[in-house]
Amino acid sequence: CLWVRNLRLKRRLPGPFAWPVVGNAMQLGQMPHITFSRLAKKYGNVYQIRLGGNDIVVLNGDKAIREALIEHSTEFAGRPDFVSFQAVSGGNSMTFSSYSKQWKMHRKIAQSTLRAFSSANSQTKRAFEGHVVAEATELVGIFHSLSAEGRYFNPGHALTVAAANVICALCFGKRYGHEDEEFKTLLGRVEKFGETVGAGSLVDVMPWLRSFPNPVRTIFLDFLDLNRQYFDFIQSKVVADRETDAIIGVIEAEGNTGLTEAHTDSTVSDLIGAGLDTISTALHWNCLLLAKYPDIQTRLQETIDREVGRDRLPTMEDRSALAYLDAFTYETMRYISYVPVTIPHSTTSDVTVDGLLILKDTVVFVNQSSVNHDPLTWKDPHVFDPSRFLDEDGRLDKDLTNNVMIFSAGKRRCIGDQIAKVELFLFLAILIHQCHFEKNPSQDLHLNYTYGLTLKPLDYKISAKLRGEPLIGT
Ligand code: HEM
């Protein structure tokens, strides 16, 4: 019978002993991705843990993850039917809905929207780059004033506002001042989003924790509330701008496909949400690492000064000459792995990986950080060294950069990877050209963080002094 078959198959997956009721929840610790890698050393790259009532398969290492996500892309394209996932983007999120015909259409529309930002010579692409330059130059001024009189500051909030403004300017034709308290509060709440949907969150796997007062219930209620507030904000802007708006025009031009207006709103909401937290987190780590590794910062500044000069700002046209800057971005992605585990997946049918059978509808955690520290792929994986990505001629080694896994792979691969790289390049090129980042000599700069869908650096302070007169525009 089916029950006996399932029991037999389940036994075949290795994994740690699971306690009644909680399973392995108490063993995950503060850094679940590190725990997952440690467990892989004992049980192999494909193993099973139990969280509350869910059996979950954890995938680790370059080989097993690529085998699963690329060779069996359809089987791993599902999302679990978690209650928290249904609260995102008014219940119509593409990112958090499972594999279906409708999801495929929704993803296609979101992809073609983003293509407008990166296709050569398009107006949207130029507008996008223009907004990044405007926000980056504004940041330079803000960093300068926050560093006045020898002060040190945490750049986190300013970076979040800057990243949010790029996408709001593009979507709604409106940006918000760094002093706009209402906007800052909204963004502060969105920053907490990843606590609930990150792999290892207990909100969905132990539903009974939601029924009486405890910290998990508080996180869940906050999550519902922040999603409502955020989606209301997006909807009010979308409704206001439906007639004139560039991005909505692109989405709805594609729209004769059975998706409703609600799907347009959720596409805008998905794209803004996905781009906001990831980009600001990336920039946050980049600033911290520049201050922590002054020799690397000096090499970056010398490279940019040599290729761009001091009398104009860097532009996208400089990118091919600034391979070391791309190398720095890739090394930050690899070394920090600031999206350590993907959004949880689920299997759409029975599937075998690394010789082990995984049943249909199994929740799957994909430990990206284990790929980025896999000793079979990387020499000295625990050393931060951007130059590992340059070949003998100083060019970016594409084979090596392709080995970094932060945008996932297969059918659920991030659709914003190209514009994310453009945005990071422009922000960083301008910030490094204009500012010198320094740590407070009386404090050690640590790399501690809080865990969630993205890793957030824990409180630290730096200064960012101007490297000469600021240049506004090129
Ligand atoms: C999904 C990473 C920026 C849009 C994802 C996923 C990861 C990721 C790990 C989950 C993949 C999976 O579940 O297997 C990143 C990183 C970024 C970034 C590291 C920046 C450094 C962006 C931007 C956008 C975007 C700028 C759009 C403007 C999306 C969307 C999905 C997604 C829509 C959902 C795809 C799906 O479920 O089919 N991203 N992302 N991302 N990302 Fe990104």
CA distance 128 to 192: 26
Residue 239 pLDDT level (bands cut at 50, 70, 90):
low
pLDDT at position 120 over 80: no
Pick the more confident residue, 88 or 253.
Answer: 88
Q: Is residue 97 a contact partner of residue 434, using CB atoms and an 8 Å limit?
A: no
> For position 125, what pLDDT does the model report?
84
Q: How far is ligand 1, taken at its centre, from the CA of residue 406, in Å? A: 9
> Region 317-333: what's the mean pLDDT?
97
pLDDT at position 99 over 90: yes
pLDDT at position 389 over 80: yes
Pick the more confident residue, 245 or 320.
Answer: 320
> For position 459, what pLDDT does the model report?
86
Name the residue of 160, 346, 414 whose CB sits within 8 Å of the most ligand 1 atoms, as the mutation to test its pocket.
Answer: 414
Rounded to whole angstroms, the maximal C-alpha distance in the chain is 76
Pick the more confident residue, 115 or 142.
Answer: 142
Q: How far is ligand 1, taken at its centre, from the CA of residue 426, in Å? A: 19
1 is in an annotated binding site: no
CA distance 381 to 400: 13
Q: Is residue 354 a contact partner of residue 64, using CB atoms and an 8 Å limit?
A: yes
- Which amino acids bring their CB within 6 angstroms of ligand 1? 95, 107, 110, 270-271, 274-275, 278-279, 282, 339, 342-343, 366, 406-408, 412, 414-416, 419-420
pLDDT at position 221 over 50: yes
Q: Specify the ligand 1 atom closest to the Cα of 272.
A: 28
3-state helix, strand and coil shares in percent for the chain, rounded to the nearest 5: 55, 10, 35
Helix or strand holding residue 364 (H, E): strand 363-366
pLDDT at position 471 over 80: no
> Region 164-182: what's the mean pLDDT?
81
| % the chain with pLDDT above 70 | 91
> For position 303, what pLDDT does the model report?
97
Q: Is residue 205 a contact partner of residue 85, using CB atoms and an 8 Å limit?
A: no
Gyration radius from the chain CA atoms: 22
> For position 423, what pLDDT does the model report?
96
Tally Cβ neighbours within 10 Å of residue 383. Answer: 10
CA distance 257 to 214: 44
Residue 474 pLDDT level (bands cut at 50, 70, 90):
very low
> For position 251, what pLDDT does the model report?
67
> For position 1, what pLDDT does the model report?
56
Which residue's alpha carbon is at the smallest distance from atom 26 of ligand 1? 275
> Region 405-424: what's the mean pLDDT?
96
pLDDT at position 107 over 70: yes
> For position 248, what pLDDT does the model report?
66
Read off the pTM.
0.93
- Where is average pLDDT lowest: 198-202, 238-242, 318-322, 456-460? 238-242
> Region 13-17: what's the mean pLDDT?
94
CA distance 368 to 144: 36
